[in-house]
Amino acid sequence: PVSWPRRAWDNVGNTVMLLQYELQQLDVLSQDSQVRAQMSNPPQPHGNEESPSLYRWLAAAVGTAYPSIGELEAQAGPWKTIAKGIQVLRQLGMAWAIEMGGTDGPDDTPVTKSIKATLLCLAPDELKPSLLAVVMAVDGRVGDLAATLMQLETALAGARPRAIRAAKGQHSKGQAGGEQEKGELRVPRKVLWLDLLQAGVPREEINGKPTTDLYKRWMWLPAAKRSTGSEGDKGVDRSKPVEPSAPPTEWQLPRPY
C-alpha cells in the first residue's frame, strides 16, 4: 500500500492539487481493497489545506486503512542486493512518513530503531556484517542512510575484483612456471592420470602423486598419447577403444637408398 504514495512523491505528486471528488475517481487504480475503500470516501489529511496534494490525499487514505506502523512495515520483503535494499529502506521511510501524517516524504523521515532493525532483518546473511556497523551508526534521515548505502555498494564492488586478483595471484605462486600453470588449468588431473596409465606408467608411480608431478611426467609423453595438448588441443573420444601401442623395437640405422 505504500508504493503508490512513494511513487506519487517521487513524481512530484506533492505539487499536484486535487479536490476530494477528483481523488474518489482514482480509487479504481488501487489494487489494495482497504485503500480503495478509503479512497471512495477519503479522509481529510492533517492540516488546513482546502485542496491537499495528491500525495497528501494518498498518504491519508493509506494511513487510515493501515493505522498500525507494524502493518505497513510488514509489507517490506527480503532483499538480495544493496540497490534493492535502498528501495526497501525508502519503503520503510514511506511507512513512517504516512504514520507521521504525510507532511514529509520518505527521504526526510528520521531513521528509527524499527527501520534499522527491519532493514537488517530482511538483508541477506552475506551482507549483514558489512551493514551492521553502517546502519547502526546512522543517526539522521532515510535519505542520508540511502546515500551511505550507495557508498557501501561502491566500496564492495571495488573490493571484489581486487579479491579475485589476489586469489589468482596466490594460486599462481604455487605453479612451477608459466607453461605448467597453463597446463594445470587446462588439463584435469583425471586426464593426466588416465593418459599416463594408458602410456604404460605403473600405477604405483602415479597414485597419490601431486598434480604438478603428474603434469611434468605427462608432458614427456608423445603428443599422440596426450588426450589434451598443453595449448588446449581437442581431446580424443574416450568412448572409442584405444589401440595398444606397438612393442618397442631396437634402434637401427636408416637403410640406405
Q: For residue range 18-42, what is the model confidence (pLDDT) as tens digits?
A: 777 777 778 667 777 888 777 777 7
Number of domains in the chain: 3
Both 187 and 119 in one domain: the answer is no
Tell me how far apart the alpha carbons of residues 39 and 65 are, in angstroms, rounded to a whole number: 9
In a domain, 239, yes or no: no
pLDDT of residue 186: 57
The residue with cell 640406405 is 256
The chain-wide mean pLDDT, for the chain, equals 76
Q: Which residues pair with 141 in a beta bridge?
A: 110
What number is the average pLDDT over the span 94-101? 91
Average pLDDT over residues 205-229: 76
- The answer to whether residues 153 and 189 belong to one domain is no
Helices (H) and strands (E) in the chain, counts: 12, 0
Q: Is the pTM of this model over 0.85?
A: no
Q: Is 114 contained in some domain?
A: yes
CA dist 98 → 47, 59, 65, 105, 115 (Å): 14, 5, 11, 9, 14
- Amino acid at residue number 3: S
Has residue 257 been placed in a domain?
no
pLDDT at position 210: 80
CB 1 within 8 A of CB 39: no
What is the rounded CA–CA span in Å between residue 9 and residue 144? 17
Residue 224 C-alpha cell reads as: 599422440
Range of the domain at 200: 178-225
Whether residue 68 has pLDDT greater than 80: yes
Whether 2 and 61 map to the same domain: the answer is yes
- Domain presence at residue 163: no
Query: Is residue 123 in a domain?
Result: yes
Do residue 5 and residue 53 come from a single domain? yes
What's the rounded mean pLDDT across residues 158-186?
Answer: 47
